[in-house]
Amino acid sequence: MTSFARRAERVQPSAIREFLALAGTPGITSFAGGYPDASLFPMDELRGIYDALLTAGDGSALQYTASEGLPALRALVAERLTADGMPCTADDVLITQGGQQGLDLVAKLFVDAGDVIVTERPTFLGALIAFNPCEPQYRSVPMDDGGMDVDALEEVLRTTERVKIVYTVPDFQNPTGRTMSLARRRRLVELAEEYDVVVLEDSPYRELRYEGERLPTIKSLDTTGRVIHLGSFSKILAPGLRLGWALAEPEVREKLALLKLAADTQNGTLNMRAAAAYLAQFDVEAHIAGMLPTYRHQRDLMLETMAQHFPAGITWTRAEGGLFTWVTFPEGLDLAAFQRDVLIPRAGVIVVPGAPFFSEAPEAHHARMSYSGVPDERMVAGVRAMGALLTEALA
Ligand code: PMP
């Protein structure tokens, strides 16, 4: 095909999709998916809600509604955001098709071809997939256990033209599990003002904190309306609902809503009605609190088993929430090749090799591993088998 638009060059199948297809096959232990644990979805409650909505008789749950989202759901989301230190009303909230659509819409709103998006190093692969059709250039900023290095960010902002967006996942980042410190959140807001850029705060794991103190969102520290905050029901209810939200200044929110209208008119009314009914009838905070011990246990088991069975020279992050640990191997070890040639054929274990999580200058000696939803015995057996193969490979 020669007639594709130029942006289609940046729409490529990811290397990850190939082996993710393996994830469901018997005999494969997957630390790759990063899906929330399906046994934690509120199935009974949702069954009752859908049943009631579809037997109500007036058809309104299947009717069109506003592009910005069902007003009742926007109001309930605004209430939760207000309680989380971001005072707002229903009007300030846009319901999106998961957090993922927020990434797509924000890039469409701000990024012309050649504009610069600054990301963390590494960053969420799905964000790069969403941004790429806008043909941005990328700069990336190193991280440590306190999140994005804001001094390095300042240097990038000082020396780079056309920066439009600084993209961050400040809470239990995908892929590293790291959280940005409060001091750095503050400094990020100052820098955004000084250099006139938008901060895109993407925080779908925020509520999955199973250890330590909750930190204020970057949006809650924003004084000039430069921060766009994205959230999602994917990790607190269920990802298949495809429900997320964007909180932004009116001028930005209105434009995002128009782009959403162009993209898909609105989210499905039935799912928005169901989520609103769930929030009105059940205690979602209790539901979230009920999930946390499971994730904490799964994290502990994975990290303890790695400590026992991985050879020296390998390090990993310890997340205080969310679903991921980021594992760093000795520099010569290419995880994509190791996985293809050794890990899959000999242990039936899959992880996500780290290279695609870099927006520039990829590094091959990392992997993202998710502990979510892996039964204990499989987790231990998988990590142990991986450790034995790594010991052999690094000997
Ligand atoms: N942002 C991050 C950092 C994510 O990890 C994910 C999904 N895993 C998303 C956004 C999008 O999720 P969803 O569209 O399901 O809300």
Measured from the Cβ of residue 288, the count of other Cβ atoms closer than 10 Å reads 16
Round to whole Å and give the CA distance between 241 and 299: 26
Ligand 1 and 239: CB distance under 6 A = yes
Cα 179 to averaged position of ligand 1 atoms, centre (Å): 16
What ipTM was estimated for this complex?
0.99
Ligand 1 and 316: CB distance under 6 A = no
Q: 3-state DSSP: the chain helix, strand, coil percent, rounded to 5?
A: 50, 15, 35
Residue nearest to atom 5 of ligand 1 (CA): 174
The tokens describing 371, both together, are 């502990």
What is the DSSP code (8-state) at residue 64? -
Round to whole Å and give the CA distance between 353 and 140: 18
Counted residue by residue, the chain has a size of 395
Of 10, 32, 14, nearest to 23 by C-alpha is: 32
Domain 43-281: which CATH number of 3.65.10.10, 3.30.365.10, 3.50.50.60, 3.40.640.10: 3.40.640.10
Ligand 1 and 370: CB distance under 6 A = no
Ligand 1 and 204: CB distance under 6 A = yes
| CA dihedral sign of residues 173, 176, 180, 181 | positive
Please list the residue range(s) of the chain that carry CATH number 3.90.1150.10: 6-42+286-394
The position carrying tokens 């979805």 is 41
Whether residue 162 contacts residue 182, with contact meaning beta carbons closer than 8 Å, is answered with no
- Strand order of the β-sheet with 366-370 is 315-316, 324-328, 366-370, 352-353
Of 300, 384, 307, 319, nearest to 349 by C-alpha is: 384
Tell me the CATH class for 6-42+286-394.
alpha beta
Cα 24 to averaged position of ligand 1 atoms, centre (Å): 20
Select from 123, 167, 174 the residue to mutate for testing ligand 1; criterion: most ligand atoms less than 8 Å from CB: 174
Question: Does the predicted model carry a pTM greater than 0.95?
Answer: yes
Between strands 366-370 and 116-121, the pairing is unpaired
Please list the residue range(s) of the chain that carry CATH number 3.40.640.10: 43-281
Cα 175 to averaged position of ligand 1 atoms, centre (Å): 11
Q: What is the pLDDT along the chain (395 residues), one digit of tens a residue?
A: 679 999 988 888 776 777 777 777 888 999 998 888 888 899 999 999 999 999 987 899 999 999 999 999 999 999 999 999 999 999 999 999 999 999 999 999 999 999 999 999 999 999 999 999 999 999 999 999 999 999 999 999 999 999 999 999 999 999 999 999 999 999 999 999 999 999 999 999 999 999 999 999 999 999 999 999 999 999 999 999 999 999 999 999 999 999 999 999 999 999 999 999 999 999 999 999 999 999 999 999 999 999 999 999 999 999 999 999 999 999 999 999 999 999 999 999 999 999 999 999 999 999 999 999 899 999 999 999 999 999 999 98
